[in-house]
A and B are shown apart, each in its own frame.
Chain A
């Protein structure tokens, strides 16, 4: 029985002339909502893209549910891991339904079947955007487009879900709806890794927390909760005050 959803070993990655990640070793548990936090430009999104197999590694391996992702075919990888970008630029005015359907590419040879269409519709229902299905994708608001892309990755039906700031453009209704959905999927056994911008949203909803800092991906030390202000100060480099919440803490910045 595999216990780890994602296992990263000795991973290094650099863009031309600048090292982003240096010798990262970390594991992500199966069936948890794991949240990646860190400062702007720390490499959170890069790390998530590496997990999705989108970037070539200079060194190291990424193993997802026991398979080295660099050895998997595109379609096998898609059945295992789903990924959603922070932003997606729409070019052509496809109907929403067709956009969601493209999430089935890993299962479809040349033309989607009725079953693929059914799965795409179920995904739209889960996210709550059936009413948008006939609309043109690039006429939607940023938040609606984000919901469409969430439905798209759900239609892919992966075992591990990687989402880069999935709630960044959503109003409170859809934010809570999507977070509820992510928790339901986790309860059904899916492993979910999200990059979040807002540590408080993370601390309210997350199960496990990773921090990207100076080329490393770390957890807080044993015995020290991730919402500990002294620890977070080392990440965000700013004085913080803790507000107790449900046995955890939320944090606010304190101006000097």
Chain B
């Protein structure tokens, strides 16, 4: 009963929260009435040719809306990827960054910020994928990829790219260094329609594949032997799921930077609220992951006049909620 209520709640939350988020922002010129009349004008023919109205329109449509949608997409992508990675590695302590994706992407972004040879997002995406591919390749031994060697390889690859990132930072001038550091803390404030367009296809594709494979994740969570003898090829399925998470996460990281621990804690929140079955939890991770990041971002936008990186607030707001659930529910970890 309670679960059903939570499910209905989570399915109905995104649209109102997205609309509500449009009202929040730094600009003092935009009032609630302005946005209301903007909505009206969108659905009627009589266009208002007022200068103030054009400004409102520009702020809401070109600044706030892409940011709100991008935040939702990024939050959903990280949560779904985290849930998938935890299931297939049978390890509740992993997150989508475990295979070196975040440090690879950070290195790619820093390289592009320091030497401007590629757009930052493209470079972050490419190096994020390279890091995951490298981890997988290093872990592969005699056509076999064990979970432990994969996680170990991920740690090594993370180390390598973190070292390279430090090198780039070391040789950058202070202004570039500042933007590199800011990028690695997560940045949603310079969201644009262009960013949204580049990320929406890979993220949706990745999330869609993970949704299709959600029951198979239940089987994979039983262990390799149990999956194999029950009729599922764990190596093939894991590769598909890994590729999908890498695609979704690296495109999210490419446009929003690194939002630490989000992909670790949201799947646990969902498990505590709704249970283990991935068929239920994958879609709910996407919806709740999106909504929750949006709520956090709304806080960080209204908290002060200047932008505090989202990564700071994901922890400051996420942690208390997580601890509350952890104390309150009995999920049954050994």
Contacts and interface: CB of A to CB of B under 8 A. Distances in A.
Interface of A: 49, 52-54, 73-79, 81-83, 85, 88-95, 98-99, 101-108, 110-112, 136, 138-139, 152-153, 156
A98 B218 contact: yes
Interface of B: 87, 90-92, 212-213, 215-216, 218-219, 221-223, 225-233, 275-277, 279, 331-334
A111 B226 contact: no
A104 B231 CA distance: 8
A154 B64 CA distance: 55
Contact of B332 (A89, A110, A136): A136
Contacts, number: 95
B145 to A, nearest CB: 14
A93 B268 CA distance: 12
Nearest to B277: A98
Contact of A82 (B90, B229, B232, B275): B229
A85 B331 CA distance: 26
Contacts of B230: 78, 102-106, 152, 156
Query: Considering the complex of A and B, which 9 residue pairs feature the smallest CB-CB distances, nearest first?
Result: A106-B231, A78-B231, A93-B332, A75-B231, A83-B229, A105-B230, A136-B332, A105-B232, A102-B219
Given A94-B218, A105-B219, A85 B276 contact: no
Given A93-B331, A110-B213, A136-B332, A79 B90 contact: no
Contacts of B227: 102, 105
A79 B232 CA distance: 11
B232 A106 contact: yes
Given A92-B221, A95-B277, A156-B230, 13 more contacts: A53-B228, A53-B229, A54-B229, A74-B232, A76-B231, A88-B226, A91-B90, A91-B91, A91-B92, A91-B221, A93-B331, A102-B219, A139-B332
27 contacts: A49-B225, A53-B228, A74-B231, A77-B229, A78-B229, A78-B231, A78-B232, A88-B226, A91-B221, A92-B87, A92-B90, A92-B221, A92-B276, A93-B331, A93-B333, A94-B218, A94-B276, A99-B222, A102-B218, A102-B219, A102-B226, A105-B232, A111-B215, A112-B215, A138-B333, A156-B230, A156-B231
Nearest to A82: B229
Contacts of B279: 111
B233 to A, nearest CB: 5
Given A92-B276, A136-B332, A105 B231 contact: yes
A74 B213 CA distance: 17
Nearest to B234: A74
A74 B276 contact: no
Nearest to B89: A91
A54 B225 contact: yes
The residue among B218, B229, B232 with the most chain A CB atoms within 10 A of its own CB is B229
A7 B334 CA distance: 41
A136 B271 CA distance: 13
Contacts of A93: 276, 331-333
Contacts of A91: 90-92, 221
A67 to B, nearest CB: 14
A94 B90 CA distance: 12
